[in-house]
Amino acid sequence: MALLFFGNVTLAQTAKTKSAKEYRAFPKGSGSDIAGFDLPEGFKEVTKTDDNKYDYAIAIPEGSFEIRFKINPHTEGTSDSLYIERGKTLAKELAGDNMFYIKDIPPTSLSDYNADAGKVYFMSLPDSPTTNHYKYALLTVLQKNRKGIIMAVCITNDRGPDMFKNIYRAKSCIKFKDEQ
């Protein structure tokens, strides 16, 4: 879903998102209570490292494109606007000394993910083993009132059309579960 915003804006009129019935529980960690997940065609699960920086990751086996997910369930006493600070913190951590660009996600796109608010960040990455030496990142941060935060980081070496094709392939793989 970092995903998801740029691909969503570009191709929103032609794509349908999956119905809630097609999503299964998020595969790892505490996010299973708030997020549904559907592994996109052509992606495979990435083995998690011990650094605990993300809950789950997927990648395109033949390409240099990876998506890392972090789910933060809402805790009592925290503001729903915490997603803004969490997004900025992760963007600064990823970008290092590099600048990053921030954009609000429009309500029409938020509804595809059952989200109430969200931001997207685009940045160049410093050369680092933490990001497997990828060059670019697109971070999407989604927030659902009283549910939590979904963060998805798309990392790649290509910021051209292939990056956006890959984002489009995965754009509907995760969303907040429907209210029950």
CB 171 within 8 A of CB 3: yes
For residue 105, being part of any structural domain is answered with yes
Helices (H), the chain: 4-11, 82-95, 107-110, 161-170
| Nearest alpha-carbon partner for 82 in 118, 115, 54, 48 | 118
Q: Residue 138: enclosing H or E segment and its boundaries? A: strand 136-144
For residue 17, being part of any structural domain is answered with no
The whole-angstrom separation of Cα 165 and Cα 59 is: 14
Q: Is the pTM for the entire model greater than 0.85? A: no
Q: pLDDT for 78-136, tens place per residue?
A: 888 999 999 999 999 999 999 999 999 999 999 999 999 999 999 999 998 888 899 99
Give the strands of the sheet with 35-37, arranged side by side: 24-25, 35-37, 174-176
For residue 123, being part of any structural domain is answered with yes
What average pLDDT does this structure show over 171-179?
Answer: 88
For residue 137, being part of any structural domain is answered with yes
Q: pLDDT for 135-150, tens place per residue?
A: 999 999 999 999 999 9
Query: 112 is written with which tokens?
Result: 């595809």
For residue 165, being part of any structural domain is answered with yes
Of 83 and 33, the structure prediction assigns the larger pLDDT to: 83
What average pLDDT does this structure show over 61-82?
Answer: 89
For residue 95, being part of any structural domain is answered with yes
What average pLDDT does this structure show over 158-162?
Answer: 90
User: Band of the pLDDT at 11, cuts 50, 70, 90?
Assistant: very low
Q: What total of structural domains would you count in the chain?
A: 1
Q: What is the mean pLDDT of the chain?
A: 83
| Nearest alpha-carbon partner for 93 in 139, 61, 62 | 139
The CATH number given to whatever domain includes residue 155 is 3.40.1000.10
Per the structure, the complete domain to which residue 127 belongs is given by: 4-12+22-171
Q: What are phi and psi of 56, to 5 degrees?
A: -160, 150
CB 163 within 8 A of CB 4: no
For residue 146, being part of any structural domain is answered with yes
For residue 177, being part of any structural domain is answered with no
